Amino acid sequence: MSPRSLSRMRRQLAVGAIAVLAALVLSGCVSTSTGTRKAPLVTGSIGAGAGGSLAAVTRLNRAYRRNPENLEIAIRYARQLRKVGSNDKALNVLVRTVRKHPKSQQAMAEYGKVLAATGKTGMALKALVHAQSLGSSDWKLFSATGVVLDKMGRHDEARKQYAAAMAIAPNKAALLNNLGLSLALSGKLKKAESVLRRAVALPDATAKVRQNLVLALGLQGRFREAEDLASRDLPAGSVKANMATLRHMVTRPAPWNRLRKTRRKKSRAARKTGRPARVVRRTGTRTPARAAKAVHRAKVPARPAKNIKVPELRRL
């Protein structure tokens, strides 16, 4: 296979496989100063695990019960609930809060983030866009809106939100990380790598940003670079397992290529006969009798969706 064909295959495989690879490459153990802990998979500034504290939740719960009408306490309480993964409780708090304070940009923004964390992306997008109209420009709000759009497969629109955020805060590792993952989701791996390298070079870059760069490198088949970078944050065992998974996913025959070949056969048959031809799925050596039965049973594979819906990726 020529280098150009291999590069094209990897780009096509990236869009469909990137969510699976993210779950495998970016999960596992992360070494910290206090030991080794499990690294949660989060999405943008919307997911759980971004500095949440059960002690803070308990403290804010007491404050909220004493004064549920206090806007600042309600927002802080809901944010901590979201960070520890208690999204349903956070949503209950924020539904009440936005009803009491419908013109609060912070409350509406937090409401949108919690909706996104619970999978209600359509409602989340409406809430976040409305929040943008309620106050001054906030790069975190634009970034969160971009994350939701990426979840919906609307990557071009998402990058417009990231561009608006970068106009306010051009050197934020979290923002560049989200932009890089958006590019990767679109199969633009070279551009994703360039953006993620900029993010990694910033002082506020975290292990999550570096491991997302590992993913972008691995999807391009640059395993040695990916392994060297992954070893900065992950134990040797996790690095070895992750690299093995990357190699397997990237180098195996891409289902997209097989589907393209099938469609080309159909197209040629249609031009010759004026109607679609049956396609024999070849699984090995066949006798004439088996081949005849295979022709009878064969079905044309379904055309792959143009916009593949993928699970969440790790973001900040």
286-302 residue pLDDT tens: 454 554 444 444 444 44
Classify domain 3-251 at the CATH superfamily level: Tetratricopeptide repeat domain (1.25.40.10)
Identify the burial level of 39 via C-beta atoms within 10 angstroms of its C-beta, where 0-12 means exposed, 13-18 middle and 19 or more buried.
buried
pTM (2 decimals)?
0.68
- For residues 39, 44, 45, 48, the Cα torsion angle rounded to the nearest 10 degrees is -40
Average pLDDT score, the chain: 77
Of 157, 115, 163, 122, the closest CA to residue 139 belongs to 163
Q: Tell me the pLDDT tens digit for each residue of 149-203.
A: 999 999 999 999 999 999 999 999 999 999 999 999 998 999 999 999 999 999 9
Separation of alpha carbons 64 and 113, rounded Å: 20
Residue 265: how many CB atoms within 10 A of its CB? Answer: 16
Q: What is the pLDDT of residue 136?
A: 85
Q: What is the pLDDT of residue 245?
A: 85
Q: What is the pLDDT of residue 53?
A: 82
Q: Tell me the pLDDT tens digit for each residue of 96-153.
A: 999 999 999 999 999 999 999 999 999 999 999 999 999 888 999 999 999 999 999 9
Q: Tell me the pLDDT tens digit for each residue of 267-289.
A: 666 666 655 545 444 445 545 45
Separation of alpha carbons 121 and 152, rounded Å: 7
